[in-house]
Every structure is written in structure tokens, then in C-alpha cells.
Amino acid sequence: MKRLLSISLLLIIALTLSACGNESTSNSPSHSEPAQAQSEAATEETTSAVPDPDTLVFGGYYGYKNGVSDKSLEDITWYILAEEDDKLLLCSTEALFCSKYHSKTTDNVTWETSEIRNKLNDEFYNVAFTDAEKDRICSTTLEDTGTTDKVFLLSKEEADKYLPVHLKNNCPAREYIVRMNLMQTYGDNGTCKWWLRTPGTEPERFLYVSYNAEHQNTQGTPNNTYGICPAIWINK
């Protein structure tokens, strides 16, 4: 009888220890989970990072000479933002000039009716490009505005997609803009705010990229004067 009780007691102890061991295993945190989470976060950060785009020279626009703005043209350097079907999406690496989006705030202005759209596709287009260069510039239908343009401004989505933050938020103004104090610039390298074509969240406002990381919620009235970084699609 005593022997039977001893065996029963040993069985109870063994079952208890087994249950404790199982409970510990099921509830204890896995050491691989934090490492896996860190790995996934690092992968996401890596894949979401936008690399610095290559550049090319195409066309020319007013530069700076002998202390005044003159009619001499200097090369335009462009970022190559995308390549599709033997075409390249380009955006100037600096603000080539400064302008209001539209001079009046009472016109219910849109990109389609804005003065800056007209200026880019008329005055700028005819000054900056030779006939041979114009032959390479594509007529581009912008899905967000429904317009077809030779020259345009980037949308917020395009700026976020194609430009790394350190380039997007440190756009230099062309030298004559800085020297002649045509608009406010910042720092030793003359960085500036520059217009996007995307409407703001309030009527009669449009988004622009600031000289720091504010641009997600940064918008100005059309009669503000900011930098202009033209964008074009060209045939390779």
C-alpha cells in the first residue's frame, strides 16, 4: 500500500513538473521575434529610401553675369526622375526662376487656368529650348489635372516618389535670383521654397516644398513668390 502511494505521489510530481514546463514554453517571449521585427523594419526602410537620381544637361536659361541679370543663357541641369518607354522624366536641379503661381487670389485658379502654367509652356519653353530640343519634349497628359503640357510642375506625389528628402528640401535658387534678391532664400547655398502643382487643403492655396521637411502640410496663396523647378518628359 505504501509502495502504491509512493508511486502515485511520484506520478503526480512528474505531471506537475511537465505542466509547468509546458506553460513556461508557451508563454515565454520568443527571442527571434524582436530580431525579425528589426529585420522587417530595416528592410522597409531600405526599400522606401529614394536614391539620388542621375543628372543630365539639356537646354539653357538665363544666368548671372557681371553682377546683373542679362539675356545670356546657362546650361540647365536636370534630375532624371524616371524612365518609361524610351522617355525620361526630368526636373531641374535648381529653381530656374521665381514666380507667383497666379497673381490674383480671386480667380478660383487651378493648374489649368494658372499664370505659371502659361508661363512655363510659352515664355520658358521658347527661351530654354532650341527647335531640335523642342522636338524631343513630349506632350504629357497629367492625370491629376487632365491637362496636356510640354512643361509642368511636379505634383506632391511625384516629388515624394522621385526625390530624396535631402534634395527635395534643399533646392538651390539660380545664382541671379540670390544675388538680385528676387525672393527669400535661406542659408549659404541659397535654398528656397518651390511650387508644386498640387492644390492645398484650403480653397485658393497650392502646395510648395519648404527649405526643411515641412512640405507635407505646407501651402501658400497663389500670389506668393516661390522658386520654379520645371519638369518635362523627353524622348531618349
Average pLDDT over residues 94-98: 96
pLDDT computed for residue 70 by the predictor: 62
pLDDT computed for residue 6 by the predictor: 45
Average pLDDT over residues 83-95: 97
Is residue 82 scored above 60 in pLDDT? Answer: yes
Ranges of each domain in the chain: 55-235
Mean per-residue pLDDT of the chain: 81
- The model's pLDDT over 20-79, given as tens digits with 9 standing for 90+, comes to 344 333 333 333 334 443 434 443 333 357 899 999 999 999 887 655 556 789 999 999
- The model's pLDDT over 125-179, given as tens digits with 9 standing for 90+, comes to 999 999 999 999 999 999 999 999 999 999 999 999 999 999 999 999 998 899 8
Amino acid at 171: C
Residue that wins the pLDDT comparison between 32 and 200: 200
Entry pTM: 0.78
Is residue 17 scored above 50 in pLDDT? Answer: no
SS (H, E, C) the chain: CHHHHHHHHHHHHHHHHHHHHHHHHHHCCCCHHHHHHHHHHHHHHHHHCCCCCCEEEEEEEEEEECCEEEEEEEEEEEEEEEEECCEEEEEECCECEEEECCCCCCCCCCCCCCHHHHHHHHHHHHHHCCHHHHHHECCEECCCCCCEECCECCCHHHHHHHCCHHHHCCCEECHHHHHCCCCCCECCCCECCEEEEEECCCCCCEEEECCCCCHHHCEECCCCEEEECCEEEEEC
